[in-house]
Each structure stands twice: as C-alpha cells, then as structure tokens.
Structure 1
Amino acid sequence: MEGFKKFLLQGNVVELAVAVVIGTAFTAIVAAFTEAIITPLLAQAFNADAIADATIGPFKIGLLIAAIINFVIIAAIVYFVLILPMAKLKERMDRRKGITPDEPVETDVEILHDIRELLRAQQAGPPRT
C-alpha cells in the first residue's frame, strides 16, 4: 500500500491529472464556441437548418468541417499559448547559459570519442623526436 501511495503522490501523476482536468474544461469551451458561433455560420453557408443537416450529396460534410475547425482552434491555442512561449523561454535561458542556437551541440557519442582519443594520446606518451 505504501508504494501505491508514493505513486499517487508523485509529481508526474498529479501534473497529468491537472492537465487532463484543464484539457477537459478547455475542450468544453472550444465546443461551446463552435456550437454557438461556427455551427450557425456553417449552417447558413450550406443553407441548412443545423450543421448536421449540411450535406454534399450523401455526405454530412458539416459535421466534418465543425470537427476540423475545433481541431484547428485547439491546435492554434496550444501553439500560441504554450509551445511558442516555452520555446522563447528556453531560448532566453540558453542564451543566459552561453548556448547559441547556431552553435552545434556535441552528442554523447562525440564526447566519448574525444575522451577516447585523449586517453590514447596519454597512453602513447609524449611524442618522440
């Protein structure tokens, strides 16, 4: 039981739970926006009483368009509210640490290769003349 309690109180689980709750609330807001504003506009554009009635031939295209608009709205908000500011913050923090974006960062393999070469040079001793 102690392990389960530790698991539940771990930071990642709590953060994930908060993210799910916020995501659910955000989805409700976007769905309401789409239902109140986008759906009537689409229904009017297709001369339909409701978006579900908007069709092209046998296809209910209005439902698909509403879902795509929901996705685009959510993706745009996530990008402009979360991703872009976090990228700018990371860039600022890297600049403070002296890391420039165009400066190539050595990989672990490259660093290990350099260490191996230095060790080989040390084992060989000073160069003979």
Structure 2
Amino acid sequence: MLKGFKEFMMKGNVVDLAVAVVIGTAFAAVVKALVDSVLMPLISMLFGTPNFDDFLVFGQVKFGVFLTAVVTFVLVAAAVYFVVVLPMNKMIERRNRRLGIVEEEEAIDPQILLLTEIRDSLQTRL
C-alpha cells in the first residue's frame, strides 16, 4: 500500500502540479500587486476613479462592478502574458536554437495538397 503511494507521489506530473500550485499562488500576489498598485492607478489617472463600481448604476443593477471585474481580468491576463508567457517563449526559443532543436512543421494532409494542386491548375486554365 505504501509502495503504491510512493510511486504515485514520485510521478513527475504530481510533483509538477504541486510546484505549479505553489508557484501559481505566489505569483498571484505579484500579479495582484501589479494590477492594484500600477495598472489601476494609471486607469484612475485617465478616468478619475480607480474602479468603475459607481459607473452605470440603474437602481439595484450595478453594471460598473461587472465592468471593473472585466477590466481587472483583462489587465491580469495582459500582465501574465507580457511578464511570463512572452519572455518564457523567447527563452525557450533561444534555448532550442542554441541546442539545435528545430520544430517540425505540421504535415499537410495529402488530400489538402491534392485539392490545392487542382485549384491551382483550374486557376491557370481560366
């Protein structure tokens, strides 16, 4: 029973998932600080308010709260993309170039090639 548990815990994807959760939790604080302390104050300079909670209120319906959540989501997504994803992709690309790893292009379906040749042939006849 303990042997099976040990094998389960030592699988690479379980350890990777645990590391991802810990790092993700820590990184969430960084992204939240970026959005709350840098990006939202910039928005408040443009619009005069750090959020849109009191914007578009009709009785009990507060569209501004939703708008604030959408803006925050877009800012978080942009921060993650430009601060993590883009640099990581560049780093992987540089590493692959240094190691001589070439990404293989997707193989084109032979039927697509045949249809392309037929199309090109028909276009030259017209």
- Alpha-carbon contact 1:39-1:51 (below 8 Å) kept: yes
Establish whether residue 91 from structure 1 lines up as the match of residue 89 from structure 2.
no
> Could you tell me how far 1:54 is from its partner in structure 2?
5.8
> Could you tell me how far 1:67 is from its partner in structure 2?
1.4
Gap change, CA 1:45 and 1:62, over 3 Å in 2: farther
Give the superposed CA RMSD.
2.7
**Larger relative CO (CA 8 A, sep 6+): 1 or 2?**
2
Q: What CA distance in whole angstroms lies between the structure 2 residues aligned with 1:67 and 1:56?
A: 19
Question: Gapped runs of 5+ residues in structure 2?
Answer: 108-126
Matched residue, 2:115: none
Alignment of 1:21-32 (within 5 A): 21-32=22-33
> Could you tell me how far 1:56 is from its partner in structure 2?
5.0
Alignment of 1:7-22 (within 5 A): 7-22=8-23
> Could you tell me how far 1:43 is from its partner in structure 2?
2.9
Q: Deviation per CA, 1:39-73: give whole Å up to 9, x if none.
A: 2222342233x414263575322331121011111
Matched residue, 2:86: 80
State the structure with more CA Rg. 1
SS at match of 2:28: helix
Question: Gapped runs of 5+ residues in structure 1?
Answer: 108-129
Matched residue, 2:63: 59
Establish whether residue 41 from structure 1 lines up as the match of residue 47 from structure 2.
no
- For normalisation by structure 1, the TM-score amounts to 0.62
Between the two proteins, the alignment pairs up a number of residues equal to 100
Identity %: 30
- Alpha-carbon contact 1:47-1:54 (below 8 Å) kept: no
Q: What CA distance in whole angstroms lies between the structure 1 residues aligned with 2:39 and 2:83?
A: 16
Query: Which runs of 4 or more aligned residues in structure 1 lie more than 6 Å from their structure 2 counterparts after TM superposition?
Result: none
- For normalisation by structure 2, the TM-score amounts to 0.63
Gap change, CA 1:5 and 1:52, over 3 Å in 2: farther
- Letter of the 2:29 counterpart: A
